[in-house]
Every structure is written in C-alpha cells, then in structure tokens.
C-alpha cells in the first residue's frame, strides 16, 4: 500500500486562479485608515446609490415570517413575474444567486477540462474565474477600443470552444455593442458552429441604456437556441446585497442549467424583493435618471481635468489617470473608494461608479486636489 498523501492537494487549475478583487467595503477602509465610516464615499462596486427600493423593503418584511422554511426551489412567483415582463414561458427562466451564479451555472453545465471559453480582454472578470474553476481553457481575445471585437472573437472559436461570454454593456470598460452587431454575431456563430457553441449575453447594465439603444434580446433568444441572456437585480434594481439574477434561454439550455443549480440558490427574501422591484417602475425610472445625470457630472469633470475616459453605457466610468495605484491610495486617504482595474489589464485607469450628486462631487473634489498637488 502506498503511503497516504498528507499534504493539501488541489487541481492545478484551481491553484492557478487569481481571486476576484472586490471593491473595498466602507468598514474596512474605516478600520485601515482610522476614518469615520459615515464620511466615506464608496463608488467602487457599481451599486445603486439610491439604496434599495422601499417596495422591496416592505416585501421582505412581509416575507420574513416564512424564513423557517426553505425558499421556493423553483421560484414560482418570481418566474411568473419575469415571464409576464419578458413574454417567455417560465420554463425559459433560470434564477441565480446573483447573475454571477448564472455565469457559474453555464460553466458548470457546459465546460470541462479539454473544452474552452472565449471572452474579450478587459471583459467581466468572472468569465475567466468560472472558466478556470472548471479546468477549461480560456481564449482571451484582444479588445478593440476597450470593447469586444466580435469579428476576432468569432475567429477565435476553435473546435474545443463551448461558450462565448459577451458583456453588453461591458464592465469595467462601459462599452456597448448595438443589437444589430449582436444579431449578426449570433448568425455567424450558428452558421459556423451550429449549436455546439453557447453564447452568453450578460446584460447586467441593460436598464441603464438610453431607450433608443435598447434592443429586444429576448427576441434573439427565440431565434437562437444557443443563446443565454443574463440579467441582475444588483444594479438598477438596487438589490446587490440580496444576490438575485436570472437567465433567459430556450428549454434545452435552461434544463442543463437547472441540473447543476443548487435547489435553494435564491433565498426567500431575495425572491420577494425581486418581485417588488420588478414592479416598481418609479424606482427604475429614478435609477436611470440619477445615473444619467451623474454620468454627465463625472464626464464634465473629467473634461475639465483633461482626463481621457471611455464613454460609458453603464453606471460607472473608466477614466485614465496614469499612476492609478498612487491616485487610488490618495483617494482612499480622503475617504473615497473607487476601483483600481490593473487586474483587468488596465493599470493606468480607475473605474468610478456613478453615485448621488454629492458623492460624485466628493470624488471630483478629491481627484482635483490630488491631481493639482
């Protein structure tokens, strides 16, 4: 008998994962720098600066009575509400513990060692993490103007490729691909690869798009059996802390996602709050308007400071500051948390989430002071 191995053993592909770097929590900065948490401005995680909708708070209070029971494993009521909103049967919807969970489910269902996933340089970091966690190969395609180069992504699909991830708008760059470009890409993928390659269209920031840019991605799901769209309640709906998102795909793909899904992945409070938030048109309108105004405020300041930025379609702006690490440290000392994006291959840039007018102003004042020192 061989001697038992007594050291910690993990697959090499797990050891190779560089962990996700989240935005610094307010309490952590307060501890590290001895600051008053109340004076700290956090513009680092693309959260909704309006807080959560009051309608969702009320729905959660009512749902709290049921917390001794497991959540509805099939999310019947939330799926019914989503089904009505998007005009698809409930059997086309998968609920996730945040849309991160949806991305993980895709990787779990479709990737394995020997297979590959394609995504863009500077795309959402979770595509890499989910792919690596499966021991699959990742094919990162160079960005074009900080966004996805769909022609190059099409060309990068090889015989092992099972998944293509597209973030639209993309995080952290804020770039956007119009509906026609997405539709053409899907046609090309289908022509060249049939249904052997699944395309994930991650639309976490969809609700922030100006109305004239919105396109009916659910109609694309009806046309393409290899398309999954992913949405979240974390951003425009203001429920990041609850962790709830969803996917829309045809039944065959939806069935695969549900085979690898934890039965109780979306908790009772999250389901109740999401139903309320979905119906809260007033809050959604306010989120959109606050974001649009805040974006104009930040961009005007960057113009005045002669800083380059990537025109953003999300609730954040990527701005070129040069020595981003030092400037980030100076911002932290002044109680302003933004997001360094060196890990996304953007060492000279910072990503700033759009806050309330006063929060944006705090950031602008701090940045102006730092740059003029």
Based on the shown chain and the rule CB under 6 A, indicate whether residue 240 belongs to the binding site for ligand PLP. Answer: yes
Q: Are 165 and 102 in contact (CB under 8 A)?
A: no
Based on the shown chain and the rule CB under 6 A, indicate whether residue 234 belongs to the binding site for ligand PLP. Answer: yes
Based on the shown chain and the rule CB under 6 A, indicate whether residue 190 belongs to the binding site for ligand PLP. Answer: no
62, 92, 64, 97: which is closest to 263 by C-alpha?
97
β-sheet with 137-141: strand ranges across = 93-96, 245-248, 227-232, 198-202, 161-167, 116-120, 137-141
CA distances from 331 to 100, 265, 291, 305 (A): 29, 37, 22, 16
Number of residues assigned to the chain: 373
Sign of CA dihedral 212, 147, 165, 277: negative
Which residue number, 233 or 366, has a Cβ lying nearer to ligand PLP?
233
Which residue number, 137 or 231, has a Cβ lying nearer to ligand PLP?
231
The distance of closest approach from Cβ of residue 204 to ligand PLP in the complex, given in angstroms and rounded to an integer, is: 4
The distance of closest approach from Cβ of residue 320 to ligand PLP in the complex, given in angstroms and rounded to an integer, is: 20
Give the range of 14-22, 93-101, 284-292, 359-367 binding ligand PLP by CB under 6 A: 93-101
Furthest-apart CA pair in the chain: how many Å?
Answer: 73
The distance of closest approach from Cβ of residue 123 to ligand PLP in the complex, given in angstroms and rounded to an integer, is: 8
d(CA 285, CA 261): 32
Based on the shown chain and the rule CB under 6 A, indicate whether residue 202 belongs to the binding site for ligand PLP. Answer: yes
Give the range of 68-76, 95-103, 174-182, 258-266 binding ligand PLP by CB under 6 A: 95-103
Which residue number, 177 or 370, has a Cβ lying nearer to ligand PLP?
177
User: Considering only residues 232, 265, 271, 290, which one is a binding residue for ligand PLP as defined by CB under 6 A?
Assistant: 232
Based on the shown chain and the rule CB under 6 A, indicate whether residue 98 belongs to the binding site for ligand PLP. Answer: yes
Based on the shown chain and the rule CB under 6 A, indicate whether residue 147 belongs to the binding site for ligand PLP. Answer: no
Based on the shown chain and the rule CB under 6 A, indicate whether residue 23 belongs to the binding site for ligand PLP. Answer: no
Number of residues this chain uses to bind ligand PLP (CB under 6 A)? 14
Q: Are 265 and 97 in contact (CB under 8 A)?
A: yes
Which residue number, 152 or 240, has a Cβ lying nearer to ligand PLP?
240
Q: Are 324 and 340 in contact (CB under 8 A)?
A: yes
H or E element: which one contains 60? helix 54-63
The distance of closest approach from Cβ of residue 171 to ligand PLP in the complex, given in angstroms and rounded to an integer, is: 3
Following DSSP, what letter does each residue of 238-255 receive, concatenated? S-GGG--EEEE--HHHHH
Based on the shown chain and the rule CB under 6 A, indicate whether residue 48 belongs to the binding site for ligand PLP. Answer: no
Based on the shown chain and the rule CB under 6 A, indicate whether residue 237 belongs to the binding site for ligand PLP. Answer: no
User: Considering only residues 40, 46, 226, 250, which one is a binding residue for ligand PLP as defined by CB under 6 A?
Assistant: 46
Give the range of 9-17, 21-29, 97-105, 139-147 binding ligand PLP by CB under 6 A: 97-105
CA distances from 283 to 49, 97, 167, 176, 287 (A): 12, 22, 24, 24, 6
**Site of interaction with ligand PLP (CB under 6 A):** 46, 98-100, 124, 167, 171, 202, 204, 232, 234-235, 240, 245
């Amino acid at each position: 008998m061989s001697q038992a191995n007594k050291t910690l053993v993990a697959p090499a592909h797990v050891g190779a994962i560089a962990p996700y770097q989240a935005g610094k929590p307010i309490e952590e900065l307060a501890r590290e720098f001895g600051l008053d948490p109340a004076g700290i401005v956090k513009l680092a995680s693309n959260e909704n600066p309006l807080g959560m909708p009051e309608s969702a708070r009320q729905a959660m209070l009512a749902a709290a009575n049921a917390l001794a029971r497991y959540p509805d494993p099939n999310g019947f009521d939330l799926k019914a509400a989503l089904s009505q909103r998007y005009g698809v049967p409930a059997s086309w919807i998968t609920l996730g513990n945040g849309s991160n969970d949806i991305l993980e489910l895709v990787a779990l269902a479709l990737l394995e060692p020997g297979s590959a996933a394609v995504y863009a340089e500077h795309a959402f970091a979770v595509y890499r993490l989910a792919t690596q966690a499966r021991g699959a190969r990742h094919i990162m395609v160079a960005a074009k103007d900080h966004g996805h180069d769909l022609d190059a992504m099409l060309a990068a699909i090889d015989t092992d490729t099972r998944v293509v991830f597209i973030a639209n708008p993309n995080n952290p760059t804020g770039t956007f691909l119009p509906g026609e470009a997405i539709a053409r890409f899907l046609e090309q993928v289908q022509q060249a690869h049939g249904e052997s390659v699944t395309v994930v269209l991650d639309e976490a920031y969809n609700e922030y798009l100006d109305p004239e840019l919105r396109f009916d991605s659910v109609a694309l799901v009806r046309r393409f059996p290899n398309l999954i769209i992913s949405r979240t309640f974390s951003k425009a709906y203001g429920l990041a802390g609850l962790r709830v998102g969803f996917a829309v795909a045809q039944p065959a793909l939806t069935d695969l996602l549900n085979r690898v899904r934890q039965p109780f992945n979306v908790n009772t409070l999250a389901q109740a709050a999401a139903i309320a938030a979905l119906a809260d048109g007033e809050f959604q309108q306010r989120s959109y308007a606050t974001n649009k105004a805040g974006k104009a405020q930040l961009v005007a300041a960057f113009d005045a400071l002669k800083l380059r930025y990537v025109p953003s379609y999300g609730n954040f702006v990527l701005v070129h500051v040069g020595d981003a690490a030092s400037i980030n440290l100076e911002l932290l000392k002044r109680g302003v948390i933004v997001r360094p994006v060196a890990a996304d291959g953007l060492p000279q840039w910072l990503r700033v989430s759009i806050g309330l007018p006063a929060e944006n102003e705090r950031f602008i004042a701090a940045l102006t002071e730092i740059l003029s020192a």
